[in-house]
Amino acid sequence: MHANFNALPSLVALAILVAVFAAIARHYAKERVELWLAGWFLVLVRSGAQFLHPRNAVSVRLDLAIGLVALEVASIAFVVSVAPMADTRRRQLLLASTLALPALAYTDCMIWQVRFPGFYYALVAIGFGGVLYLLWQWYRAVTPYVASVAAGGLVLSSLVIWSIAAGHSDYGVHLFLAAMNFFAAGLYWYKLQRASAGVIATVVGFVTWGATFPVALVQRTIAPGLPVESEVWNLPKYLVAVGMIVTLLEDQIRQSEHLAYHDALTGLPNRRLLQDRLLQAIAHADRAGHKLAVLLLDLDDFKEVNDNFGHRIGDAALQQVVLRLSARMRASDTLARTGGDEFTVVSEVSSAQGAQTLVSALESALVLPIKVEGRLVQTGVSIGYAMYPEDATDPTELCAAADKAMYAAKRGSRPLRSTGNPLL
């Protein structure tokens, strides 16, 4: 056995990529990144197998088996990482096993020259049947996505069966690798659904990577003596890797932008976004000739929940409070978190009576206790509101009027509505 130094640049480049993805995975807590790391590590194993150059026939087959199995499992890892319904470890393992077991059995039998076509046909049927079974179990309906995946599986199975019948079972491995990359491209786009640089680069990379397998077959058949540099075949891999890294950077930027305007715990608009929504609501009310109600909500004795049960239970209870409040509001209303246990609602109403109706609905949302991890958490809400334009015309003064009314309600001195500009 001796080293194939022509494969050394690719081996070094992939080793660097694996190190980069390992560093990213330590700071990016998503299973998708872990699967990408596993995939690139297996691609590195494939490159290592190409770097070694065995001399005897048995070692050559063993080296080929290691390389192809690693490449197939890597492609499956990439597919599973973006499969829409593979959202749990159990489902990821189930999908990976359904794809990998027939494919790896097929590849190993082909390499070790098992000459029994019926066995290969059975593996194709098992693989395709397994995919159809998972689609039915997970979706229970024929959607465009389900139909597309099923059609793709049928095309792949038909082509592999044709290759077996033609006496070229090795073509089946190339077809499977091509199909997995094409599926990875389609699922990547379907999962992220944005025309960003990272997504486009990754999709194009997967498509071209998949295309290299049938192209290699054609080149081997038509022009076997045509010299093609190894780096030409490796370019799609690098494009996929760069696209994935750029996608993660784009996700980080989008998340930072979201957190700048939203509360991290509840996902609700924060004070910054609330001000913008309030200005828009006032402008719309002026144009339509409607009134606007600004409600300030303060949870009663919620500090005791954190003191008695801890902040983890308190945070979970707060998330359920948001769900209950949101269920009592219209989609056009704005619910913002403006403090630890304070919320602000902006709602377009026809009159003060409409605001009173909304107040009653929100109060009723917290009449029953909240169940969190087997514990019953009881909290109420004190609500005060101010009307635009009767109580104030400036957004800051309007919120201050609602705040004054809320504190009056908390002290038990109704009404819930402010009766004038609190700054006078």
- Does residue 281 sit in the same domain as residue 244? no
Count of the separate structural domains present in the chain: 2
For residue 369, is the peptide bond before it cis, meaning its omega torsion is within 30 degrees of 0?
no
Tell me whether residue 423 is in a domain: no
- Does residue 33 sit in the same domain as residue 176? yes
- The closest alpha carbon to 210, from 74, 319, 54, belongs to 74
For residue 236, is the peptide bond before it cis, meaning its omega torsion is within 30 degrees of 0?
no
Let me know how long the chain is: 424
Tell me whether residue 366 is in a domain: yes
* Region class of 373: left (phi > 0), else alpha (psi between -120 and 50), else beta: left
- Does residue 147 sit in the same domain as residue 186? yes
- The closest alpha carbon to 202, from 250, 236, 253, belongs to 236
- Does residue 298 sit in the same domain as residue 337? yes
Q: Are strands 291-300 and 375-377 parallel, antiparallel or unpaired?
A: unpaired
- Does residue 254 sit in the same domain as residue 305? no
- Does residue 91 sit in the same domain as residue 231? yes
Could you write out the three-class secondary structure of 154-178? HHHHHHHHHHHHCCCHHHHHHHHHH
pLDDT of residue 3: 65
- Does residue 325 sit in the same domain as residue 275? yes
The sign of the dihedral angle between the CA atoms of 242, 244, 250, 253 is: negative
Could you please report the per-residue DSSP string of 294-334? EEEEEEETHHHHHHHH-HHHHHHHHHHHHHHHHHTS-TTSE
Tell me whether residue 415 is in a domain: no
pLDDT of residue 325: 95
- The closest alpha carbon to 386, from 318, 312, 295, 267, belongs to 295
pLDDT of residue 328: 93
Q: How far is CA 198 from CA 202, 223, 245, in A?
A: 6, 35, 7
Q: How far is CA 178 from CA 93, 215, 288, 316, in A?
A: 22, 10, 57, 45
Task: Provide the residue-wise pLDDT of the chain in tens; the chain has 424 residues.
Answer: 566 667 778 888 899 999 999 998 888 767 789 999 999 999 999 888 877 766 666 777 888 889 999 999 999 999 999 999 888 899 999 999 999 999 999 999 999 888 899 999 999 999 999 999 999 999 999 999 999 999 999 999 999 999 999 988 889 999 999 999 999 999 999 999 899 999 999 999 999 999 999 998 888 778 766 666 666 778 999 999 999 999 999 999 998 998 999 999 999 999 999 999 999 999 999 998 889 999 999 998 888 888 888 888 999 999 999 999 999 999 999 999 999 899 999 999 988 999 999 999 999 999 999 888 888 888 889 999 999 999 998 999 999 999 999 999 888 744 555 555 433 2
Longest alpha-carbon distance in the chain: 96
- Does residue 176 sit in the same domain as residue 218? yes
Could you please report the per-residue DSSP string of 59-72? HHHHHHHHHHHHHH
Tell me whether residue 416 is in a domain: no
* Region class of 293: left (phi > 0), else alpha (psi between -120 and 50), else beta: beta
Q: Which residue, of 261, 283, 309, is where some domain finishes?
A: 261
Burial class (CB within 10 angstroms; exposed 0-12, middle 13-18, buried 19+) of 77? buried
Tell me whether residue 67 is in a domain: yes
The 10 Å CB-count burial string (b at 16+, else e) for 4-33 is eeebeebbebbeebbeebeebbeebeeebb
Could you give the CA distance from residue 27 to residue 21 in angstroms, rounded to a whole number?
A: 10
Q: Which residue, of 235, 261, 287, is where some domain finishes?
A: 261
Tell me whether residue 342 is in a domain: yes
Tell me whether residue 370 is in a domain: yes
C-beta separation of 184 from 72 below 8 A: no
Tell me whether residue 424 is in a domain: no
Q: Which residue, of 206, 240, 261, is where some domain finishes?
A: 261
| Domain of residue 330, CATH code | 3.30.70.270
Angle at 111 between CA 120 and CA 134, to 5 degrees: 45
Beta-carbon neighbour count of residue 152 at 10 Å? 15
Look up the domain containing 235 and give its range: 2-261
